[in-house]
A and B are shown apart, each in its own frame.
Chain A
Amino acid sequence: MTTRFWKAPEDLVQAAPADEFRPEVAAAIAELRSAHGIDQPACTGELPVPGDPALLAAVNRRGFLQLTGAAAVFALAACGEKHPDTLVPPAVQVEGMSPGEPLHYASVLRAAGHPVAVAVKTYDGRPIKIEGNPDCPVGRGSADLRTQAALLDLYDPDRLQHGPQQRGADGFAATTWAALDAAVGAALKQGRVGLLTGPVDGPARRRLVDGLVAAAGGRLTHAVFEALPRTAELRARQQAWGDRPAAGRQYRLDRARLLVAFGDLLGGGLAGLGEQVGFGELRRNRGRVVVVEPTLSQLGTCADLRVRCAPDRLEWAAWGVAELVAKALGGGAALPPAIARELDRVRAGDLSAALGLRAVDGRPALEAVAEALVANRRAGHASVVCAGSAWSPAGLHLAVEFLNGALGNLHGPQATAAPAGASAIADGGAADDLLTACKRGEIATLIVAGCNPVHGHPAAAEALAAVKLVVAVADRLDETASLAHWVAPAAHDLESWGDAELRAGVVALQQPCVRPLWDVREVEQSLLAFAAAAGWAGYAQPAAKPPAAPALSVVSRAPLWDAAVAGVRSWRETVRAAWIAQVRPAAQPLADDTTWWSACLARGVVELPAAPAPAAAPTFRGDAARIQPFAASTGYQLVLSASRTLRDGASANNPWLQEVPDPVSKVTWDNYLAISPADAQRELVGEGAVVALEVAGRTIEAPVHVQDGQHPGTLELFLGWGRTRAGAVAALDDGFRIDAFPLFARGAGAIQAAAIKPTGRTYELATTQFHDRLAGRPMPLDDSMAGHELAPKWVAGTDGKPGGRLSLWRTEHAYLGRRWGMAIDLDACTGCNACVVACSAENNIPVVGRDEVRKNRELHWIRIDRYYSSAPGADQAARLDVQVVNQPMLCLHCDNAPCEVVCPANATMHNDQGVSLQIYNRCIGTRYCANNCPYKVRRFNWYEYAKYRAGPVGAGAPLERVARNLVTEGRTTAAAELTHAPLQLMLNPEVTVRSMGVMEKCNFCVQRLRTVRDREHASNRALPDGAITTACAQTCPTRAIVFGDLNDPASAVVRLGEAEGHRAFKALDEELNTRPAVAYLQRRRGGHAHGKETHP
Chain B
Amino acid sequence: MADAVRTAGGHGYIAGLFADEGSFVAACRAARAAGHTDLQAWTPWPVHGLEEVLGLERSWIGRAVFPAILIGFVLCTGFIYQLTVEDWPVVYGGKPFAAWQLWVVPVLETGLLLGAVVNLLAVFHTCRLVPDPFATLPDPRLSDDRFALALPVGGDAAAVCAWFAAQGAESTLAVDGETALARPRFADLPGQEAPHA
Q: Do chains A and B touch in the complex (CB under 8 A)?
A: yes
Residues of A within 8 A of B (CB): 808-813, 894-901, 903, 906, 909-912, 1075
Q: Provide a sorted-by-A list of 6 A–B residue pairs whose CB atoms are within 8 angstroms.
A: A809-B96, A813-B91, A896-B93, A897-B94, A909-B92, A910-B93
B90 within 8 A of A: yes
Residue B101 is within 8 A (CB to CB) of chain A in the complex: yes
A894 to B93, CA, bound (A): 8
User: Restricting to B63-97, which residues have a CB under 8 Å from any CB of A?
Assistant: 90-96
Least CB distance, A912 to chain B, in whole angstroms:
8
Which 7 pairs show the lowest CB-CB distances between chains A and B?
Answer: A811-B96, A901-B93, A896-B94, A900-B93, A897-B93, A910-B91, A900-B92
Tell me which residues across on chain A come within 8 A of B99, comparing CB atoms: 809
Q: Which residues of A contact B101 (CB under 8 A)?
A: 808
Q: How far is the CA of A230 from the CA of B34 in the complex (A)?
A: 124
* Chain A residue nearest to B99 in the complex (CB): A809
Chain B residues with Cβ under 8 A from A901's Cβ? 92-93, 95
Choice from B90, B94, B96 contacting A895 with Cβ under 8 Å: B94
Given contacts A808-B101, A809-B99, whether A1075 and B94 have CB atoms under 8 Å apart is yes
Q: Is the CB of A809 within 8 A of B95?
A: yes
A812 to B95, CA, bound (A): 8
Chain A residue nearest to B94 in the complex (CB):
A896
- The contact of B93 among A810, A898, A911, by CB within 8 Å, is A898
Number of CB contacts from chain A to chain B under 8 A: 39
Besides the known contacts A809-B99, A813-B91, A910-B91, 20 further A-B residue pairs in the complex with CB atoms under 8 A apart: A808-B101, A809-B94, A809-B95, A809-B96, A811-B95, A894-B93, A895-B94, A896-B93, A896-B94, A897-B92, A897-B93, A897-B94, A900-B92, A901-B92, A903-B92, A906-B90, A909-B90, A910-B93, A911-B91, A912-B91
Listed residue (B91, B92, B93) with the most chain A CB atoms within 10 angstroms of its CB: B93
Q: Mark B14-42, 1 if CB is under 8 A from A, else 0.
A: 00000000000000000000000000000
- Shortest CB–CB separation between residue A896 and chain B, in angstroms? 4
Chain A positions within 8 Å of B91 at CB level: 813, 909-912
User: Nearest chain-A residue to B90 (Cβ)?
Assistant: A909
Inter-chain CA distance A898–B93, complex, in Å, is 6
Nearest Cβ on chain A to B160's Cβ, whole angstroms: 65
From residue B146, how far is it (CB to closest CB) to chain A in Å? 55
Q: Specify which chain B residues have a CB less than 8 angstroms from the CB of A903 in the assembled complex.
A: 92
CA distance A684 to B90 in the complex (A): 58
| Residues of chain A contacted by B93 (CB below 8 angstroms) | 894, 896-901, 910
Q: How far is the CB of A923 from chain B (nearest CB, A)?
A: 15
| Nearest chain A residue, comparing its CB with the CB of B97 | A811
A813 in contact with B94 (CB, 8 Å):
yes
Most buried by A among B92, B96, B99, B101: B92
B92 cross-chain contacts in A, Cβ below 8 A: 897, 900-901, 903, 909-910
Complexed CA–CA distance, A1075 and B92 (Å): 14
Q: How far is the CA of A625 from the CA of B91 in the complex (A)?
A: 72
Measured CB to CB, the nearest residue on chain B to A902 is: B93
CB B134 to nearest CB in A, in angstroms, measures 41
A898-B90 Cα distance, complex, nearest whole Å: 15
Chain B proximity of A600: nearest CB distance (Å): 49
The winner among B91, B92, B94, B99 for most chain A CB atoms within 10 A is B94
- Measured CB to CB, the nearest residue on chain A to B98 is A811
Chain B nearest CB, measured from A294 CB (Å): 49
* 0/1 string, B103-116, CB within 8 A of A gives 1: 00000000000000
Give the residues in chain A near B94, CB-CB below 8 Å: 809, 811-813, 894-897, 910, 1075
Give the residues in chain A near B90, CB-CB below 8 Å.
906, 909
A813–B95 Cα gap in the complex (Å)? Answer: 8
In angstroms, Cα B99 to Cα A338, docked, is 81
Cα-based distance from A812 to B91 in the complex (angstroms): 11
Chain A residues with CB under 8 Å of B96's CB are 809-811
**Distance to closest chain A CB from B89 (angstroms):** 11
Question: In the assembled complex, which residues on chain B have CB atoms less than 8 Å from the CB atom of A898?
Answer: 93
Distance between B26 CB and nearest chain A CB, rounded to angstroms: 62
A847 to chain B, nearest CB (A): 32
B91 and chain A: residue at smallest CB distance: A910
Which residues of the other chain, B, contact A809 by a CB distance below 8 angstroms?
94-96, 99
Which partner residue on chain B sits nearest A1075 by CB separation? Answer: B94
Residue of A whose beta carbon sits closest to that of B102: A901
Which among A813, A894, A898, A911 has the highest number of chain B CB atoms within 10 Å?
A: A813
Tell me the chain B residues, 94-150 only, with Cβ under 8 Å from chain A. Answer: 94-96, 99, 101
The residue on B at minimum CB distance from A1073 is B94
What's the least CB distance linking B110 to chain A, in Å? 17
Closest chain B residue to A912, Cβ basis: B91
Residue among A895, A899, A901, A906 with max Cβ neighbours from chain B (10 Å) = A901
B96 to chain A, nearest CB (A): 4
Once the chains are docked, how many angstroms separate the CA of A239 from the CA of B129? 109
CB distance from B51 to the nearest CB of A (A): 48
Q: Could you say which residues of chain B place their CB within 8 Å of the CB of A813? A: 91, 94
Query: How far, in whole Å, are A458 and B93 apart by their CA atoms in the complex?
Result: 60
Query: In the bound complex, what is the Cα–Cα distance between A1048 and B94 (angstroms)?
Result: 21
Cα A914 to Cα B138 with chains together (Å): 75
How far in angstroms is the closest Cβ of chain B from A925?
18
A813 to B91 alpha-carbon distance, docked (Å): 8
Nearest residue (CB) in B for A911 is B91
Cβ of B17 to closest chain A Cβ, rounded Å: 59
Closest to A808 in B: B101
Complex Cα spacing A895 to B95, Å: 9
| Bound CA–CA A808/B94 (angstroms) | 11
In angstroms, Cα B90 to Cα A900, docked, is 11
Considering the complex, give the chain B residue whose CB is closest to the CB of A903: B92
Which residue of B has the minimal Cβ distance to A897?
B93
**How far does the alpha carbon of A894 sit from the alpha carbon of B99 in the complex, in Å?**
19
Bound Cα distance from A810 to B99, whole angstroms:
10
For A900, the chain B residues whose CB sits under 8 A away are 92-93
Question: With A and B bound together, what is the CA distance between A811 and B97 in angstroms?
Answer: 9
Query: CB-nearest residue of chain A relative to B96?
Result: A811
CA distance A909 to B91 in the complex (A): 6
- What B residues does A911 contact at CB under 8 A? 91
Q: What is the CB-to-nearest-CB distance from B14 to chain A, in angstroms, rounded to a whole number?
A: 62
CA distance A1090 to B60 in the complex (A): 79
Docked CA distance A809–B94 (Å): 8
A813 to B97, CA, bound (A): 10
CB of B169 to closest CB in A, whole Å: 63
CA distance A903 to B93 in the complex (A): 10
Q: Taking CB as reference atom, which chain A residue is nearest B95? A: A809
Q: Which of A898, A899, A910 has the most CB of B within 10 A?
A: A910
Cα–Cα, bound, A912→B95 (Å): 14
Q: How far is the CA of A895 from the CA of B96 in the complex (A)?
A: 12
Whole-angstrom distance between the Cβ of B27 and the nearest chain A Cβ: 61
Least distance between B91 CB and chain A CB atoms (Å): 4
> Residue of A at shortest CB range from B92?
A900
Tell me, in angstroms, the Cα distance from A810 to B98 when the chains sit together.
Answer: 12
Q: Complex Cα distance A901/B94, Å?
A: 9
Q: Which residue of B lies closest to A932 (CB)?
A: B93
- Nearest B residue to A807 via CB reads B94
* Min C-beta distance of B62 to chain A, whole Å: 37
CA distance A809 to B92 in the complex (A): 12
Measured CA separation A808–B90 after assembly (Å): 19
- A808 proximity list for chain B (CB < 8 A): 101
Question: Which residue in chain B gives the minimum CB-CB distance to A896?
Answer: B94
Tell me the bound Cα distance from A812 to B99 in angstroms: 13
Using CB atoms, name the residue of chain A closest to B101.
A808
CA distance A603 to B134 in the complex (A): 93
Give A80 Cβ to nearest chain B Cβ, in Å. 22
| Minimum distance in angstroms from B87 CB to a CB of chain A | 12
**B32 shortest CB reach to chain A, Å:** 59
Report the bound CA distance from A809 to B99 in whole Å. 8
Complex CA–CA separation, A903 to B92 (angstroms): 9
Bound: A525/B154 CA distance, A:
122
Give complex CA distance A897, B93 in Å: 4
What separation, in Å, do the CA atoms of A910 and B96 have in the docked complex?
Answer: 12
Q: How far is the CB of B43 from chain A (nearest CB, A)?
A: 50
Nearest residue (CB) in B for A810 is B96
Residues on the B chain within 8 Å of A1075, using CB: 94
Query: CA separation between A610 and B31, bound complex, in Å?
Result: 125
